[in-house]
Structure 1
Amino acid sequence: MLGYIQNYSILSFTKLIQKHSCKCSPVLTFTLPLYRYMGTLGSQVMCDNIPGLVNKQRQLCRQYPKVMQAIGAGMKDWISECQYQFRNHRWNCNTTARDHNLFGRLLIRSSREVAFVYAISSAGVVYTLAQACSQGELDSCSCDPTKKGSSQDAKGSFNWGGCSDHVEHAIRFSQAFVDAKERKERDARALMNLHNNRAGRKAVKRFMTLECKCHGVSGSCSVRTCWLAMADFRRTGDHLRKRYNGAVQVAVNQYGTGFTAAHTHFKRPSKNDLVYLEDSPDYCIRDHESGSMGTGGRVCNRTSRGVDGCEVMCCGRGYDTSRVSRTTKCECKFQWCCAVHCRDCHQQVDVHTCKGQT
C-alpha cells in the first residue's frame, strides 16, 4: 500500500504533516500523532490536501477521520516490526524523511523487499484498526458482534463473552481504503501490490487465538467464557519474514488477470505467498536511483558467517574496529522482600562497522 505508486495512502499523511511541523528525524516524523493535525486542520481540509488519493480513498478519509488517526498512530509499530525483522540484513527497512515517502525511491522497484513492505503495512493497518475497535477508540466499530451465544471447540462447549477482536471489519476497511488505487490501475505492479496487501491481511487473521476464562467450583472449568484475540504482532512479522525468504518471482499471465511463475522451476504462488516482479539490488552501496542506502557504517558481527557477518554485510569492503565502553547491570541479588539490587559493571568491547565505499 506504500510507495511511489501509492504515496496517496498512509505515507502521504507523513509528507503533509512535515509541512505543519518541524524538520524532525525520520523516526519522529512518522511517529508524530496524526490526530493533532486532523484536529487543527479539520478532516476535510486534511483529506483534500493529501496528494494522489483516488476518490474512494478521499471519501473514506473524510467519512472516518478517527480511523485515519488510528492508522497514523499505528504506523510506528509496523515500521518498527519491519526494522526488527531486517535488523541484520543489508537492507534493514531503513526510512528517510528527505523524499516523498518514508522509503524513498526503493519503492519504485518491484522487488521482494517492496513486497514485504506492502504486506507488513497492510497487516499493520488491520492490526491497528482491530485493536482500536476493541479498545473503544472508534465510533464506527467495537468488539465483534457475531461472537454471541454458545459454541464449542476441541475442549467442549463454551459461551462467547469478553471482547473478540473484530478483525473482519478491519480487513474490510483496509481492503476498501488500501486497495482502492490499485484496483483502478490493474497493471502488473498493481496486481503485485494487491496480492501482497492481501497476504498481509491474511497473516493477521491466521494467528487469531481463542482465549478463555474458567468458571466453576474450586477452580474447576465446568463453564468457560471465551473470546477471539489477535496474537502479538511479532508473530505476524515472523510469518511474513518467512514468506519474504520464500517469495516467488512472477510474471503476469497472458490475460493480465493473475500471475505465473517467472521461471519454470519456480512454484506457482499461493495466496499466502509474497510475490515480486524484479530482482533486488545488492544494497551494498548508496544509490539514490535504486533506493539503496548502502551498508557503510553499519555494525557487523566479525565472527558470524551469516548475513550479519562483516564479510557479507560489508560486501567485501572491510570493516573498522573501535573500542567502546559499555555499562551493564551485573551481580544482581534478590533481597527479601521484594527488590533486586544490581551493580553497574563497565566493560570495554570491540565494535565493528563496515567501511564506506571508496
Structure 2
Amino acid sequence: MTLHASYAKRCLDALNQHYVELDTARLVVAFYCLSSIDVLDQLGQRIKEKDKDQWKNWIWDQQIPTDYGTGFRPGPSVAVTLGETNHSVKFHPYDLPHTIMTFSAIISLAILGDELSRLDIGGIRKFIGGVQQPDGSFWTIPNFGESDLRSTYSVFALCSLLDCWDAIDADQALTFIRQCRTYEGGYGQRPHTEAQGGTTFCALASLALCPRSPGLSENERKATTRWLVERQVGGFQGRTEKAADACYSFWCGASLKILNADEFADKEANASFLLTCQSKFGGFGKCPGEYPDPYHTYMSFAALSLLPSQSSETESLGVLRPIDPILNATLKTAEHLRRAVHSIKRTL
C-alpha cells in the first residue's frame, strides 16, 4: 500500500482530536478517504473484505426513511434516539437526510462494490423533490439548511444517476444556476455572491448533467474559461487574489475539463505545486507546510488524474485511475454505480 493510501486507511480507522468539529459530517470524510484509496487503485489489493463489509454496513445505517422521504444523514452523531417507549414513531423530526451526504453515501457504496440493493430510490425521489425551493434551489435538509449550488449539484447528480428528473422542477433549478453567474464568468454560491472555484464546478457539472440544460453560449464558455485559467497561480486559487489551495486544482481543473478547455491549464506547474503540499507521513494539505487532511488528499489526487503531469516527480505516486470530472469519482466507480442502479430499476 502506498504511503498516501495508508494515510487514507488510517483516517478511516480513526481521526485525532483535531477533527472533532467534522464529526457531524463524518460520512463525507469517509467519502474522501475511500475516494483516495480508489483513485490510487489500492482498494482491492490491500483492504480486507471484512473491512469493506463493515464500512458498507456503517454507511447503510445512515440511510433513514422519514415523512419527507429517504436519504442519508451525515453520521451517527446527528442521529436522534427515540427510546424504547417510542416504537410507534417512525422517525424523529430532527433526524433528517441530507442532500450532499446522500450523494456522497451512494458514491462511497459504489467504491466499495456494493450492488445498492438496499437503496430506497422511491424515497430519495420524494426527498429531493421536497427540498426544492420556489427559486429553484434546494435545501440540504427538509425545511432547513443551506440552499446553494453545492446542494443543487448533489441533487442533479442524484437525478442523473437514479434517472428521476421528473422528481424536481429542472427548469426552475436551471434558472437558479443562471442567476448565480457573475460578470466575471464564474459562479457564486447564490445569486449576487462572489464567484468561487468550487461553486463554478457545481454549476458547470450541473449543466452538463441535466438533459434540459441548453449549456453555455460560446461567449459564456469563453468568459468562464478565461476566469478559470486566470485562477492558476502555479496551483489554483479559489477566488480572485487568494493564495493557491490544493482543492482548487480539482475544482478549477475539472471545470476546465468539463468545458473541454483543460489544454489551457499549465499541468506541470499545477503538479509541482501539489507535490509541495505532500506530507512525509502521507496525505496532502491545502498548501505547503499545512497538515494533511482527507479532503485535500483526495482532491489533489483527483486533480493529478485529470491534469496529468509528464514530470518524473509524480511517478512516485503510481498510476492513478482516470476520473469522471462531472461525478468526481473514478470511471470504474461511476460505471459500477450506473450498472447497479439500472439493475435495481429493472426489478421495480
More strand per residue: 1 or 2?
1
Q: Under TM normalisation by the shorter chain, which class is it?
A: under 0.3
Structure with higher Rg: it is 1
Q: Which has the higher helix share?
A: 2
TM-score (norm 1): 0.25
